[in-house]
């Protein structure tokens, strides 16, 4: 799925989508996905199928609501995984020839009607082991306070985020959520959530995001 593919007749399944490559002639390949078609001159370059953050209509945040709130003891932390929506970039060289969404596309208002922002929305269990999902985020939830704290959701800043991948799965960078008073703070570290992954973009940390709603 993710990674490089030869420009020759084949099917490439990506989530609930299917890319069909068909040799048109000795050096022309037809690219087809749903109602999208391209004719690509084959010069030996590989077709790259890469993960992309779930920006949808141009949002800068992804909000993932947990199936059950997390409850963290004082001066303690918890590390696990959540499912997260991703999008797909298809490239030859540095040119994007196709971009699409896998799975259901949902949006929600984060914050008040007067000051809130629209973000991509997803509901996920909190897993102690990596889930079998096309999009995954690993997060550490830290409670440095002397009181028990709960967390019902995480809001992930994605504008300019790098992405990571292996053949069958895409990953957001490691997320660190600190449950401060009065609002949790989210750090998209830009770092790979585990070793051995391929990276798209630059592995830089994004500015911390304060979940004030």
Domain limits at 148? 52-87+94-210
| Structure confidence by residue, pLDDT tens digits, 130-147 | 999 999 999 999 999 999
Whether omega before 182 lies within 30 degrees of 0, making that bond cis, reads yes
In a domain? residue 69: yes
- What is the torsion angle, in degrees rounded to the nearest 10, for the CA atoms of residue 22, residue 24, residue 27 and residue 31? -40
pLDDT, one tens digit per residue, over 28-37 is: 999 999 999 9
Domain presence at residue 28: no
Counting as low any pLDDT under 70, the low residues of the chain are none
Cα 87 from Cα 58, distance rounded (Å): 12
Domain-located, residue 15 = no
Q: How many domains does the chain have?
A: 1
- Residue 195 inside a domain? The answer is yes
pLDDT of the residue at 181: 87
Q: What is the pLDDT of residues 15-31, one digit of tens each?
A: 999 999 999 998 999 99
Quick one: pLDDT at residue 177? 98
Residue 168 lies in a domain: yes
Instruction: Judge whether 26 lies within some domain.
Output: no
Instruction: Tell whether 65 is covered by a domain.
Output: yes
């Amino acid at each position: 799925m993710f990674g490089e593919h030869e420009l020759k007749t084949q099917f490439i399944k990506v989530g609930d989508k299917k890319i069909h490559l068909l040799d048109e002639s000795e050096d022309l390949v037809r690219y087809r996905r749903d109602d999208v078609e391209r004719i690509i001159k084959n010069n030996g370059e590989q077709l790259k199928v890469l993960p992309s953050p779930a920006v949808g209509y141009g949002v800068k945040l992804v909000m993932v609501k947990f199936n059950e709130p997390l409850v963290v003891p004082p001066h303690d932390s918890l590390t696990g995984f959540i499912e997260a929506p991703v999008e797909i970039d298809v490239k030859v060289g540095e040119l994007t020839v196709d971009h699409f969404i896998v799975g259901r596309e949902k949006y929600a208002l984060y914050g008040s009607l007067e000051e809130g922002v629209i973000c991509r929305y997803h509901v996920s269990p909190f897993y102690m082991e990596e889930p079998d999902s096309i999009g995954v985020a690993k997060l550490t939830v830290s409670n440095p306070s002397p009181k028990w704290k709960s967390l019902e959701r995480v809001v992930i800043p994605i504008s300019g985020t790098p992405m990571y991948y292996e053949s069958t799965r895409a990953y957001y960078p490691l997320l660190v959520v600190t449950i401060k008073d009065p609002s949790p703070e989210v750090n998209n570290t830009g770092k790979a959530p585990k070793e051995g992954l391929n990276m798209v973009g630059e592995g830089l940390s994004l500015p911390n995001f304060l979940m004030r709603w």
